Amino acid sequence: MSIAVSAPLTSAAAATEVAARGRFLVFEGIDGSGKSTVARTMHERMMAAGRPSVLTAEPTESWIGDMVRRGNKEAASPFTETLLYVADRAEHTAQIDKWLNEGKNVVCDRYVGSTLAYQAVTLRPHLGEPAREWLRSVNAPFTLRPDVTFLLLLDPELAMERLGSRPGREKFEKLDFLRSVDEEYRRLAEKDGYVIIDAARPLEQVAEDVWNIIARM
């Protein structure tokens, strides 16, 4: 399996030793950006077009995914939280690799980009700027390079509206947090070549755009 984040040796698509290897499509974005809906729509459209596809997400539905959700509820330290996301990804990546080798396309709702964006923000108070590089290296052995990562960009304030959050202190804290995550995502998009999608439009329109890109692949 090809594993790397920053300096990939081979990409998922370049694993030519298996002729019919599927494509690995990842959707990233802040909470409320609509990525889950768009990911599901892409999966359904691929299936309808007769292309085998698996829809999957992180945190996963596995026991480690349950630990991630529990860690969030228990207010585990940001390091524990990070390592749980990475552990979840390690198992998930092995599964994704199998699906790809079976010739299935894999549509993944959040992957390593989520850790690189969200945990860069939660770890910054502890590690400062080096948080970003630390996160890359800790993920590298457990990470496949996606064929494409779509980044659904939406103003955090609009995202909060979509999430139906009410005014109050919690909202401001969350908005502040999402603004920082959004900044990290934009930075990643530039560095790692994410495909930026304007998610401020109706989701059908967003899905149509993404589908046209996938169809060309």
Query: Considering only residues 38-97, where is the footprint of ligand TYD by CB under 6 A?
Result: 58-59, 85
Q: How far apart are CA 190 and CA 133, in angstroms?
A: 16
CB of 25 to ligand TYD, least distance (A): 16
Cβ nearer to ligand TYD, comparing 21 with 89: 89
| Cβ distance to ligand TYD smaller for residue 56 or 114 | 114
In this chain, which of 41, 105, 114, 180 binds ligand TYD, going by CB under 6 A? 114
Residue type, 121: V
Answer for the pair 38, 25: CB distance below 8 angstroms, yes or no: no
Residue 142 sits in the site that holds ligand TYD (CB under 6 A): no
The residue (of 11 and 36) whose beta carbon lies closer to ligand TYD is: 36
Comparing CA positions, the residue from 150, 172, 148, 149 lying closest to residue 160 is 172
Contact (CB, 8 A) for 197 and 209: yes
- Edge-first strand order for the sheet with 148-153 is 53-57, 105-109, 24-29, 148-153, 195-198
- Judged by DSSP in three states, 60 sits in coil
Q: Is 110 left (phi over 0), alpha (psi -120 to 50) or beta?
A: left
Site string for ligand TYD, 21-40 (x = CB under 6 A): ----------x----x----
Of 41, 115, 143, 149, the residue at the interface with ligand TYD (CB under 6 A) is 115
Please state the closest distance from residue 59 (CB atom) to ligand TYD, in A. 5
Q: Which residue is nearest to ligand TYD (CB)?
A: 118
Site for ligand TYD in 188-207 (CB under 6 A): none
